[in-house]
Structures are given as C-alpha cells and as structure tokens.
A and B are shown apart, each in its own frame.
Chain A
Amino acid sequence: MQEYREKERDKEWLDYRKGREVKTGLGGRWGRWATTLRGHWDIFKRNRLGLFGLVLLIIFAAMALTSYIPPLIDTMYDPMTGVDPDILWTQGPTKAHWLGTDFIGRDILSQLLVGARIAFLVGITAAFMAVAIGTSVGLISGYLGKRVDMVLMRVADIVMVLPGLLLILILSAVIGKLSVWNLVIIIGLLRWASVARVIRSQTLSLRERPYVQAAIISGASKGRIIFRHIGPNVLPLSFLYMTFGVTTAILVEAALAFLGFGDPGTVSWGMMLQWVWKTGNMFRAPYWLLPPGICISLITLSFYLIGRALDEVINPRLRQR
C-alpha cells in the first residue's frame, strides 16, 4: 500500500507521536518500556503484603550491605576472627555488643549481618540457577516434543529421584568440606527438575493456544514463540518456584550448616545455630538463638510475599480493576 509512505504528511500520526513523547519523555521503543515499567510498579505498590515483603527484603539487603562496616570499626567485630579479649564466655547484649557475644567472644550482631549476605548469595543464586535451567528445559521440552522431550524428561526423572540432602552429605564427605559456592551449584543442579516438569506441562497446554498458532502464521521462529509467547506466560510459575527455591536453598544451607557440614570458613545463620547448639546454649542464650532463627523465617517470608505480588503484576488477569 502506498499509504505508508505518507507518514510525514499524516497530521494525526504526527500529533499522536508528539503526544506520546511528551507523556513519557522518551521516544520509540524505550518510551514504551518506560510506560510499561511504570505501570507495573503502580500495580505492585497496591499490594500491601507485597510491599511488606519488599520492605523486609530491603531491610535484609541493608543488613547485608552494612555487614562490611563493623570489622572496619574495630577488628574485634570481625564475625569470624574478631574476639573481644575481655569476654571469655557467651554474654548477653551490652553497649559494646548490641546482641551479645558467642562462646569465644565474637560479636553476634556482626555475625548476623554477614549471615544476611550469605543467605542472599546462596538463596538467590541457587534458586535462580535452578529456575533458569528448569524453565528453559521445560519450555524446550514441552514445545519441541518428540525425542527432545523424551531425553530431557528422562534426565529430569533421574535428577528428581536423587536424594538431595543425602547426596550433599556424601559429596561433602568425599570431597571434604564444601564451599558455599559448591553448595549453590549443587542445589541448583538438584532442584531444576521439578521446575522443568511443571513448566513443561504448562507449555504443553499453551502451545495449542490460538495465539501461538497466530504467531506461527505470522512467521515467528520456534525460539521466538518459546521465549516470547510461551515464556512470559509461564513466568509466574517460574517466579513462584523461584521464591520456593530461594526458601529451600536458604533452608538447605542452614540445615547443612547446623548439621556441621557447612563451610567452616563462612559465617551463616545456620552456622550460628550450630554453634549455639554445640556449645549447649540452646536454651540458655535466647539472644544468640533467636536472631538467626527469626532472620531465616523472615527472609523466607519476604521472598514468598514478593513472589505473590509479582505474580499479580505479570498475570494481568489476577489484577483487580
């Protein structure tokens, strides 16, 4: 059609373009993204619980960041090696140690702050790994089907029946103490299978939708259909699994540390719990026991709440209008 060449002379079009640029302050593609993002934030902030989760997360993030400060003030605040020379045994909160000290006089507050950092690292990276692998495998397996599906799903079956915690225990016995990063990789590689299963089944139903067929008729490639049409529609599930994944990764790390298989070179909340328990202070030093326990629960909660709120943002049908 010749009409398309008349773009520069179409007054209505020029008016529309001008209006759009004024509204977003940006032109073209970026303007559109800016509008979309702003819209998403508007929806997110209406969800009270999601905001609460976000606030919690920000607090934990702030904790993780401030964990670098105490050791700079005084070397005795170093969570791992810093020892208060005046203190010989665990002690409740004082002016010098706001949350008290552990059995060799290390500051509990600075340990707690570092613990947040470790929880973030372990939780987010492990969950992200698991969800990224699981979602990709699920999408590809579900959309391509046939032999690819066959092979990928058998691999997933094998991974799924591996007893996770036991495997980690055996590995740590064979290799020696596992570093936090090894742990992250193992958790990621063990947890993707269930995500892949769920995403695959969702993909199987989505690939028959007319809008996918409309995309095929438009000439869209397999990759485009998988990642642009089906992908975004399974993302809420992925997000949900991400929140679960963060939760389990943190819990697995805590459990391992508590059982004494943690990385002895890092301070985590699980390690703190192990030290309380090992030194027999479980019921004698609540100032030592409670903070890491509460932190583990709250960080888990915050990820869950955020996941729910994001689900609402990504799934337009959940929105209330």
Chain B
Amino acid sequence: MRENDKILVDVKGLTKIYSLKRNIFSRSREFVTAVYDVNIRIKNGEIFGLVGESGSGKTTCGRILSRLEEPTGGQIFIKGVDIRLLKGQDLQGFRKNVQMIFQDPYESLNPRMTVADTVMEPLEVQRVGDYEEREYRVWKALKIVELYPPGDYLFRFPHELSGGQRQRVAVARALVVEPDFVIADEPVSMLDASIRAGILNLLLDLRTRLGLAYLFITHDLAVARYMCDRIGVIFKGKLVELGKTERLIGNPHHPYTKALLSAVPIPDPRAERERFRFEERELPEQTFDRSCVFLPRCAASGRICRKESPEMVEVEEDHYSACHLSTEM
C-alpha cells in the first residue's frame, strides 16, 4: 500500500532532563539526562523497536510520546501535529490516536474495575456512541484479543484472570478506541515464556488487521528481532544505532549493539558464541557533547572518541550508527 510509506511519528531531537530535588545544603542543582537528542521516524503500520538496557531511557521515550511526561527539548510530530502544543479538544483527539500497553499487567488494570469497566473507559471518556454501542465495541475488542467468548470475561475482575489474560485485556483497552499508534512498553517482559509468544503474535496479527504502528520498547533483542521492522538501539539516553532489523542484527556496526547481540544466549549448551566484551567500568558523569557516550565502556576507542560526540552516520542503506570507528570496523 502506498499509504504505508507515510510517516506517522516524527521525533526530532527529543531530550529529557530531570533535575533532582535540590538539597538545602548544596547550592548546585543536579541533573540527570534520561534522553538526549533522539531522532526517530515511524511509518504507518510499522513496528519500530527501541532496545536498550534498563535505565537507558527507552521507557522515558515512550512516556513522552504518549504525553505522560513533557520533554525538555525537541519536537514530536504525530500525524504532522506537534504533540507538545496539544490542549483541550485536540489533546482528546490525540488520546484517541495514541494508546499505550504497559509492562506489568498486574498493575496496569484497576483492581476494582471489571474487564468491561476497564475496556469501556476510553470509550466513555471519548464519548463514543451510546451505552449499547460501547458495550458492543468492548465485546468486539475482547473477541479480537482472543478472550473468547467475551461474555465470560466482561464482568470479571483482574484478580480472576491470569497474567496473559490480563495483558490481553490491556491490549483490548488500547485498541477499543481504534488508535493508529500504540506504544508497547515491554509488553511481554513480565509474562511467562509460554504466554509470551501468544501476546506477541496477537500484536503482530493486530498490525496486519488494523494497520497499527507500534513503538515496541524492549530489552530483549530476540523479541525485538521477532517483532520489529526496524530497531533503534539506545544507550544512556542516546540512540547509537538504527536500522532494519535483519541488517542491524546480521551486521551490527556499533560496539554496543555487538555486545548486546553476543549476550543473547544460544539455546544449545555446546555452542559457544564469540563474545564481544566491553569494559565494565562505572559510568562517569554524562558528557554528551564532549565525547562518545559509550566511551567508558568501549574496548576499541580511538583518540577522536574522547574529543567529539559521534553523529549518526549512514553506514549502509537505511542503517545508521553513531560511532567514529564504525565505518572502519
């Protein structure tokens, strides 16, 4: 489809800096940079994976894109509208377009609300149809997420459901308003391996059926590989490598991506993977402008890495890496 090439989400120079609460005794304010100068484009119906270790700022990105938090700098365009400026009615429209699936299905459902209440809430808030219409949509959404028959689940409370079922309810809540863009923040990391595949396949299936685009946040490269069209690797708040899934996994350019990939276990006890190690040093104060973020851990750093922060460079078609040495390696 031609329409699929249209850019849905355009993130330009996204930056989020938290200022820690000032101590009464110290004058200086401390800052933590969670996300620094992140540029992402997501097309219609595309699954974009954001991969990184814990504390790398991937969740913060998702929270900013869903407007749970305000960015410190940068612009975010969703369907060509800068979401930082949205207010009132327009914001409601945005809420209808962009939905989120949370990590922990035990926490993301209100324990006092039945499945019907939970899934119906976005419809009530958005004033979609009358009660009958809403109930039908809820019923339908439960059917789509394979809670079948829906009538058996409508009036249950979250504690009466299993983890996988809860996550399905959370997915139903996200899609009942028919969004274009869903932010999935580690949607399977709290689930058992046996349920995981079911949820992942459901999400993939929904993409083809409803034409959803996802921002898929995960720390698990195997999951990202299975799900995503393109992957962005984020380290300490900075995007270090970005490219099509097969290329990025098959031919990683950034040393951090290589390290991540070599850490994925092979399900064969005899197989030994060539380990790409990095220095395990404590990370010093972040110095985004002056040197490479990965420098403290990089085993192969050159002189230039200490002086300049690397730009994202196109190393092959549609594959970018932010490493001074990646072109040489």
Q: Could you say which residues of chain B place their CB within 8 Å of the CB of A213? A: 68, 100, 102
Considering only CB atoms, which chain A residue lies closest to B132 in the complex?
A: A28
Q: A218-B173, A229-B110, A233-B112 are in contact. Are A4 and B136 (CB under 8 A)?
A: yes
B102 touches A210 (CB 8 A): yes
Q: Mark A64-81, 1 if CB is under 8 A from B, else 0.
A: 000000000000000000
A317 touches B107 (CB 8 A): no
Q: Mark B69-97, 1 if CB is under 8 A from A, else 0.
A: 00000000000000000000001100110
Considering the complex, which residues of chain B in the window 84-129 have a beta carbon less than 8 Å from any beta carbon of chain A?
A: 91-92, 95-96, 98-100, 102-104, 107-114, 116, 121-122, 125-126
- 9-residue interface stretch from A13-21, A135-143, A161-169, A283-291: A13-21
A19 to chain B, nearest CB (A): 7
A43 to chain B, nearest CB (A): 11
A263 to chain B, nearest CB (A): 41
Say if the beta carbon of A32 comes within 8 Å of chain B: yes
B102 touches A214 (CB 8 A): yes
A218 to B182, CA, bound (A): 12
B228 to chain A, nearest CB (A): 22
Say if the beta carbon of A174 comes within 8 Å of chain B: no
Considering the complex, which residues of chain A in the window 1-33 have a beta carbon less than 8 Å from any beta carbon of chain B?
A: 1, 3-4, 7, 10, 12-13, 16, 19-20, 28-29, 32
- 9-residue interface stretch from B27-35, B148-156, B267-275, B296-304: B148-156
Q: Mark B161-186, 1 if CB is under 8 A from A, else 0.
A: 00000000010010001100000000
B107 touches A210 (CB 8 A): yes
A103 to B136, CA, bound (A): 71
B170 touches A214 (CB 8 A): yes
A4 to B111, CA, bound (A): 28
Q: A13-B136, A233-B111, A316-B112 are in contact. Are A219 and B149 (CB under 8 A)?
A: no
B178 touches A1 (CB 8 A): yes
- In this complex, how many residues of chain A approach chain B with their Cβ under 8 Å: the count is 34
B149 touches A16 (CB 8 A): yes
Say if the beta carbon of B238 comes within 8 Å of chain A: no
Say if the beta carbon of B308 comes within 8 Å of chain A: no
Q: Could you say which residues of chain A place their CB within 8 Å of the CB of B135? A: 28
Q: Could you say which residues of chain A place their CB within 8 Å of the CB of B95? A: 217-219
Instruction: Give the contacting residue for B173; candidates A3, A4, A214, A221; CB below 8 A.
Output: A214
A236 to B131, CA, bound (A): 29
Say if the beta carbon of B205 comes within 8 Å of chain A: no
Q: Could you say which residues of chain B place their CB within 8 Å of the CB of A20? A: 151
A4 to B116, CA, bound (A): 17
B104 touches A210 (CB 8 A): yes
A233 to B112, CA, bound (A): 7
Q: Mark A198-228, 1 if CB is under 8 A from B, else 0.
A: 0000000000011101111111110010000
A19 to B149, CA, bound (A): 13
Q: Could you say which residues of chain A place their CB within 8 Å of the CB of B139? A: 13, 16
Q: Could you say which residues of chain B place their CB within 8 Å of the CB of A220? A: 121, 125
- Beyond A217-B66, A314-B112, 12 additional contacts (C-beta under 8 Å) are A1-B210, A10-B136, A16-B149, A28-B132, A36-B114, A210-B103, A210-B107, A214-B170, A217-B99, A218-B126, A224-B125, A233-B112
